[in-house]
Chains A and B, each alone.
With several copies, the nearest count.
Chain A
Amino acid sequence: MEAADALVLKLEGFEGPLDLLLDLARAQKVDLARISILQLVEQFLGVIEGARRVRLELAADWLVMAAWLTWLKSRLLVPQLGPVEEAEAAADILQARLLDLQALRQAAAWLGARPQLGQEVFARGQPEEMTETDRSRLKLDLPGLLAAYLAARRRAGARQRYRPRPMMLFTVQTALERLGMLLGSLPDWASLEQFLPGGLEDGLPRRAAISATLLAGLEMARDGRLDLRQDDKFGPILMRKREAGLNE
């Protein structure tokens, strides 16, 4: 049990399956180029198996590598299962990758062993800034000035946009108010024109006032507040206040 624990702990120290493989290969203490891939694969699978007994959840890439190595092992052990060249090529690829990783390790170690700036050697702590920045001058050019002038004039121009004078037409709302106010003051049937406001210009303003008053009258008739009557086609429209309690 102790051995298995140690194995798991060690596994966590590796950055990946390739990492572990390289470590196992190194443990064989022979040149990586002459290492026995079969032996290496068996060791790796042994470690993974041991680790899985204690930790069921093993990172996916470890298991992917384990599956691939299991395949490789079967091909190397029992060549008649498939073309042996395929297995040998796979073994070569694995070996090449281990060599790459080995070279990388050496390179990283070489870098790490060098005196590093800020660790073993130090540059001057107080560098002297000899560069002076002269910001006293203005950056001005004629195109910029002209562009600014045009921009200002355009902005001012855009503000004075043409707006048509709004037409003050007699609205239905105003007609409603006016009708309500005037209705009681007229004794009997009165024509619609009598309810129009004074001083109306002919044309659109007058026609708008007539239709607004008619609409207002229709609305009030619907509410039961007045009666509407037209005796002839195109004849005058007559209105009167509905008497309280009187039904149609």
Chain B
Amino acid sequence: MSEDFTPAMRLAEAVVFAAAQPVTARMLANLLPEDAEAEAVMAALARAYAGRGVNLVQAGGGWQFRTAPDLAPSLRKVVELPRRLPRAALEGLAIIAYHQPVTRAEIEEIRGAALAQTTLDLLLENGLITPQGRKETPGRPTLWGTTPAFLAHFGLNHLKELPRREDLLLDPAGPGAGEGGAP
């Protein structure tokens, strides 16, 4: 098979293969022996690679080898790398799950720390929480609750399948239980 390859074609092939950038016509002209016409060489090379697993294509201002597009599905490997929720988001989500419907101010009180808007946004974007009306108190703050997607994420069929608060916390008193939860 190599009989068909002229020295100029070999060189062009190696250059395009090794180059980190598409190889321009000017670069080829500088490299190839003077009597070799770069265009003819590249055309012959492209023909040699036609129908193969790798093709010679013109893209990005020069010549480069690319794997044949029809093989992409076989070559592609998808690696799933699920993200973790930041701690604050996970805490907010847990409080909403247990205390829903609950306002942001109430979440902050239960957490004993502020709940950033970005954290709330993150939970919303991921479809884990949803507004559930407003509380009829001054300012009419939004009430938050979990979604069916929340249940699906945790492999739950129903909120009742969450362990009871009483089973989690030593002191079953409500928010502000004081010493109950303290280490």
Direct contact of A and B (CB under 8 A): yes
What residues on B are CB-neighbors of A104 within 8 Å?
Answer: 91, 94-95, 98, 110-111
Cβ-defined contact, B80 with A137, below 8 A: yes
Is B48 in contact with chain A by the CB < 8 A criterion? no
Cβ-defined contact, A105 with B88, below 8 A: no
What residues on A are CB-neighbors of B109 within 8 Å?
Answer: 156
Partner of B113, one of A19, A102, A132, A149: A19
A75 vs B144: C-alpha distance when bound (angstroms) = 39
Q: Which interface residue of B59, B67, B76, B162 has the most chain A CB atoms within 10 A? A: B67
Within 8 A of B (CB), among A68-121: 97, 99-121
Q: Render B35-79 as a binary contact track against A, CB cut-off 8 A, 1 for contact.
A: 000000000000000000000000100001111110010011111
Is A247 in contact with chain B by the CB < 8 A criterion? no
Cβ-defined contact, B169 with A106, below 8 A: yes
Would you give 5 A-B contacts (Cβ < 8 Å), ordered by A?
Answer: A111-B93, A130-B72, A132-B79, A152-B110, A157-B112
A19 vs B154: C-alpha distance when bound (angstroms) = 25
By a beta-carbon cutoff of 8 Å, the part of chain A in contact with chain B is 13, 15-19, 26, 29, 31-32, 97, 99-135, 137-142, 144-146, 148-162
Is B117 in contact with chain A by the CB < 8 A criterion? no
Report B162 CB to chain A, min CB distance, Å. 7
A146 vs B168: C-alpha distance when bound (angstroms) = 8
A116 vs B95: C-alpha distance when bound (angstroms) = 18
Nearest 8 CB-CB pairings of A with B: A18-B112, A156-B112, A16-B113, A109-B176, A149-B94, A157-B181, A122-B18, A127-B20
Cβ-defined contact, B178 with A162, below 8 A: yes
Given contacts A116-B154, A139-B82, contact A149 B91 (CB under 8 A): yes
Cβ-defined contact, B79 with A122, below 8 A: yes
Partner of B87, one of A101, A102, A146, A148: A148
Is B163 in contact with chain A by the CB < 8 A criterion? yes
Is B4 in contact with chain A by the CB < 8 A criterion? no
Report A21 CB to chain B, min CB distance, Å. 8
Cβ-defined contact, B72 with A115, below 8 A: yes
Given contacts A101-B111, A145-B154, contact A110 B168 (CB under 8 A): yes
What residues on B are CB-neighbors of A128 within 8 Å?
Answer: 17-18, 66-67
